[in-house]
Structure 1
């Protein structure tokens, strides 16, 4: 997005703001091809991260959950720098720095990222230090700083340092025989200023102390040396207090924490002979990729900051001086260290539909009519039970499943292994390249192979992102296929944190389609004709364009609702612009990155974009087309991004049962009515949170769905 710099006349501080939008004269239409009509994807992703940070100030969330949102912001920013910023730097490094659809060059984007990210991170630490920590102190949870330690606490810390830290820490003096160490990505480290000579007469003046990754970043002080409440101390404070013990006989002039973020994106060739072996090698190098960001304590002298920047080949814009711990993500440990259940969301019990409860097996329930589950409000257990029952059922002959993010110790993996050990034909398409889950997927692939499962790694060059299970069962001498299709991963933990849809059916055409998709993934040959499903990289993109065009031809009678995690694919955006220009009402519910510019007269005045950010991570993907009163509705594993629609294996599956179509529309309407957790994207690129007007009923979509589907809040 285009931005301008303005100065606050009250504080004198400068801040970047979206630039004014060009609009067409009345009655004229804007050319959808203009670069001014598209927001930059990296800057849009930054804005999503900021909406997550803002949850830390939302007092409708319990206090500990607000702290967790602050930590999630840090985690999101880590990945943003590891992948998106690293990618921009790579483009510049290798001369591929062409402007994007928004017309902005990568170098300009990096400058704007630096400006905006510095503002957001400054605000994050301001929220932590002046809002969250004081409020937690009021609730009896204390982060005890060094200057606040009592003599008893200081003595306890000294003993802890000697017994737990000193034996495992390895200080590194910098001299010709000890060059600057190669530090692990995102590890906590200290740069230490020294005065004096060591035992060998060396006078280096500087050392690096890597904090052992095996040690907790937060430690609870014993209750008997505290005056009530829950008392926590930072590992960094302990190391700061006793750095001199790491360098006996020398004077420690200063000790400052820092943290380096590296490029963590894996680059694999398309013509690999052994994907698993190549991936194992790349995982080792991920920890030591090129530096992309330096975080350092705000009291670190500038000469030391410059020394670190030089070591990591970074510029001043890549440096973030912070007022607090440089690794805030590790603050999530608070939930395990304190007894504060009253300061967190209470647990809830996901429900299981009566249709499932009434039947003896999942096969009986699915055969009666298709099942649609909305996680986390409805339990993920029927999906697990579907596989467990299939593994044990003597009538089941074969099971096929795609696995993207699952977890090596998951019940689903165990069910597949059990089925293979019982002699069933079991095939697992394991996507090894699921970002940051690669090591886990390598492990689960090995476990499955050991149990006798046929493991396939999909198609090189096309990530297998589709979520599919196919069970083949013999019933009265005839083979029947049972299918599960989902918008999310087969990960039981995520199913409690993410919103997703699971669809289970025995529809013959759907079963035949899924069977053909597995044939394409595990075998070779031409793309097979699919009847009901859309699938990328073959039909999904053009079918969506066709559905948008059909609504466009209806003009003002047209209606489109799309709920996805990201919207960046240019042809799809242009099609939506043309639909808006034809009078079609378009509602987009886009959680994160959104490149479309809504509400611009002559271009997108009929398009609204909102983002839902709340207790759960919105992850459902739904494509709804009114179709002149005969709705066409698809759930999907795919977002509206070029990679999903054109260079991955994805599915979009139709929801045809009238009651399920009605239910999906009701869910979408709840999101569209949200006036608490929704943020509206403005024509200038900013987001404004929807808030209930005076006297207006509060509608928090996730709370409404939780109450409706579980009877709890």
Structure 2
């Protein structure tokens, strides 16, 4: 265990508190008047969903660590788990209050647009009759009300299931009443035909709950929801030696539903006695109880979107955008010959995933294709990819799928797809004990004139056809023999559980990724003030990499980082991290690519892949980053980075104290929203049906020089400001 005086916290911050600042940034989008009104409500729902998962995973995990007799101290903040929990609770309380105020404001604004979320006492007589009929005919028959007493013990409350809690009294005695709301009930009931008037299912049950307890006097009542620890590691669970890992995961999922509570939320009024009873039964301290004025589950918002009248949708939502067919690929021609001729880069969601799916579909029937190998972490609930892989196996191709069954909250979905693929004749692998396989790589092997030919796909995101329309990600498709040979060796190593393979073009965790990154940073450190590093990722928590980047800054290396979420490195600390600039973008789409650039110009080493700079990625997962070799793809990535760095609308700079602030913008500077710019560019290229034009820059100020000017200029503005 590290002593407090051994932990240098001068340029680092706590991971959990950094994450809460990120989620607060998500809520900022819901406050932004420039964002369409209903989209703002969706951002409020995303903030809430993020917070739910944070309690399930992070608070649950830290709570487990707090039970250890000799707790370790966080190596970024020096806090013990108990101290971290206390800091989290203190940080979350104001977030609830701000979210409640936001939700009330949005609901008021939506009512002026005739989009009304109603309570029972607001309904007119016709609407009341509609709700009463609906409750009688469809809701009441599936409810299971319960009185908690010596003959009816306190029931198990599944995580995030809504329940109605009531204070009951009969013959002078107090009782607790509970009414679980089945998850198969629709989240709301639409009322009438004018605009969009609706009532949430929990409000329907809350208004009629007294009818379920006719022999009792009903006192205070509220909607409640329990959040349980969801941080199960399958490796920590006992399994029989001969047990199939897929069956083992099914058992693990059942256990997750019964883990310890970490939070109780309620909306409505509960008297002190009823609240104390609930806390005692759930084993929760008072500080773990959160009162909310907003609904406890806001995911109904996404279902509500489809009910908006067209005129309302036009005014309240972002203008519709459909992913484009990328310039540089001919839609009417086969994909395999096109990729053999030239590398292609898809940029989701601005580009469609269809070219990659067509590539796999063609491979499934191509007589020259002998095998398809792929690693899968997450898939949509409906996916063409599985259909094409199954068809390939049924056509006699050797199809190997490494399906990661431990992708958190997608375990059941992945189990079902694994069973489908196995039925089709695919070879299934389930990864490694102690290491999740998070890499995104697909290898198609062909025999062409008695020679082996590879087509390799490397992704920064999952093969999920739904999230590819919501997340920004890159998909590289290449016929490079060097990359293909490394991918073939990588899959061979996976099949024999070898995590120490060595490759020419691939950096692979847990063995070679972090050491290679450290060497690449050292390469820039040796250049001193001429060194340059650009990093784009979701999060950075790895203390070893943080310290090495601080060392680079102290050597004069300019480090520019685009970190979407957790950033445990605090930039701009004099003498420590003052050559590091960190900015973040939260917008219409979820920023998700991982791009690493070391050096300038043709000498730059550029990688793209699946790993963040997090200890779990570098040490406890099988991750993959691929060298970008093709000059045309390197130019496309350079253009992407340049536009990203010019964002002064959605971008926020992370300051020395770890807080986020808007990017400074002079009055004469044009507003640049990077995501909007990429949408416009994709639409323009699709309309023009021409190849991407390399970015034109004046000879005296090339791309890398622009970076240095951008960094220095921003730092000067901050100093002068």
Deviation at residue 121 of structure 1 after TM alignment: 1.4
Identify the residue that residue 499 of structure 1 maps to in structure 2: 472
1:436/1:695 Cα in 2 relative to 1: closer, same or farther (>3 Å)?
same
Q: Distance in 2 between matches of 1:345 and 1:421?
A: 42
Residue 10 of structure 1 corresponds to none
Q: Give the match for residue 118 of structure 2.
A: 144
- Answer yes or no: is the 8 Å Cα contact 2:167–2:270 preserved in 1: no
| CA offset digits 1:648-668 (Å, max 9, x no partner) | 111110112222212212211
The alpha-carbon distance between structure 1 residues 618 and 372, as it changes in their structure 2 partners (threshold 3 A), is same
- Match of residue 260, structure 2, among 286, 290, 297: 290
Q: What does residue 9 of structure 1 align with?
A: none
- Could you tell me which residue of structure 1 aligns to residue 102 of structure 2? 127
In the alignment, the residues of structure 2 paired with residue 391 and residue 115 of structure 1 have an alpha-carbon distance, to the nearest angstrom, of 55
Q: What root-mean-square deviation, in Å, do the aligned CA atoms of Structure 1 and Structure 2 show?
A: 1.9
Structure-1 separation of matches of 2:628 and 2:16: 33
- Matched with 1:333 is 303
Aligned residue pairs total: 674
Q: 2:292 aligns with which of 296, 299, 322?
A: 322
Q: Please give the alpha-carbon distance, in whole angstroms, between the structure 1 residues aligned to 2:658 and 2:647.
A: 20
Q: Which residue of 1 aligns with 2:48?
A: 74
Counterpart for residue 116 of structure 1: 91
Note if 1:216 corresponds to 2:190.
Answer: no
Matched with 1:533 is 506
Q: Matched residues in 2 for 1:527 and 1:99: separation?
A: 30
Q: Which residue matches 1:653?
A: 626
In 1, the alpha carbon distance for the partners of 2:296 and 2:600 equals: 52
* Mapping for residues 98-497 of structure 1, pairs under 5 Å: 98-101=72-75, 102-129=77-104, 131-196=105-170, 205-223=175-193, 228-269=194-235, 272=239, 273=241, 274-339=244-309, 340-342=312-314, 343-357=316-330, 360-497=333-470
Q: Shift in Å at residue 526 of structure 1?
A: 7.5
Q: 1:449 to 1:392 in 2, by over 3 A?
A: same
SS of the aligned residue for 1:711 comes to helix
SS of 2:264's equivalent in the other structure is strand
TM-score norm. by structure 2 comes to 0.91
Alignment partners' CA distance in 1, 2:499 and 2:25: 45
For the pair 1:706 / 2:679, whether they are aligned, the reply is: yes
- For residue 95 of structure 1, report the CA deviation from its aligned partner: 3.0
Are the equivalent residues in 2 in contact too, given 1:463–1:648 (CA < 8 A)? yes
TM-superposed deviation, 1:378: 1.1
Inter-partner Cα distance in structure 1 for 2:197 and 2:497: 61
**Structure 1 residue 528, shift from structure 2 partner:** 3.3
Shift of 1:473: 1.0
Inter-partner Cα distance in structure 2 for 1:326 and 1:139: 24
In structure 2, the CA distance between the partners of 1:293 and 1:573, relative to structure 1 (3 Å rule), is: same
Residue 38 of structure 1: how far off its partner (Å): 1.3
Equivalent residues of 2:473, 2:593 under 8 A apart: yes
- CA apart distance, 1:408: 5.0
Q: Please list the CA deviations of residues 559-605 of structure 1 after superposition, one character each: whole Å capped at 9, or x if unmatched.
A: 11100000011111111101111111111100001100100101011
SS at match of 2:330: helix
CA distance in 2, matches of 1:268, 1:311: 28
In the TM superposition, residue 712 of structure 1 has moved relative to its aligned partner by 9.5
Q: After superposing the two structures, state which structure 1 stretch, 404-413 or 606-615, moved more.
A: 404-413
Tell me the SS of whatever aligns to 1:357: coil
What is the CA–CA distance in structure 2 between the aligned matches of 1:687 and 1:508, rounded to whole Å?
44
Conserved 8 A contact 1:362-1:386: yes
1:462-498 CA-to-partner distances (Å, cap 9, x unmatched) read 1111101111112122221111010000011110000
Q: Residue 52 of structure 1 contacts residue 613 of structure 1 at CA under 8 Å; is this kept in 2?
A: yes
Gaps of at least 5 residues in structure 1 are 1-30
Alignment partners' CA distance in 2, 1:212 and 1:83: 24
Match of 1:560 among 533, 536, 539: 533
8 Å Cα contact 1:558/1:628 also seen in 2? no
- Segments of structure 2 that go 5 or more residues without pairing to the other structure are 687-721
Q: Deviations over 1:233-257 (max 9, x none)?
A: 1212211221121012332222211
Instruction: Please give the secondary structure, in 2, of the residue aligned with 1:356.
Output: coil
Cα distance, 1:100 vs structure 2: 0.6
Q: CA deviation at 1:629?
A: 5.3
**Is residue 676–residue 691 contact of structure 1 (8 Å, CA) maintained in 2?**
no
Distance 1:593 1:185 in 2: 25
Q: Alpha-carbon deviations, 1:356-401, whole Å to 9, x = none?
A: 2167321111111111111111111111111100001111111111
Displacement of 1:534 after TM fit?
0.8
User: Shift of the alpha carbon at 1:97?
Assistant: 2.2
Matches within 5 A, 1:604-619: 604-619=577-592
Cα distance 1:509–1:347, how it changes in 2: closer, same or farther (>3 A)? same
Deviation per residue, 1:508-535 (Å, 9 max, x gap): 1111100111111112457333111111
2:707 counterpart residue number: none
Per the normalisation by structure 1, the TM-score is: 0.92
Whether the aligned pair in 1 keeps the contact of 2:563 and 2:582 (CA below 8 Å) is yes
Distance 2:387 2:681 in 1: 33
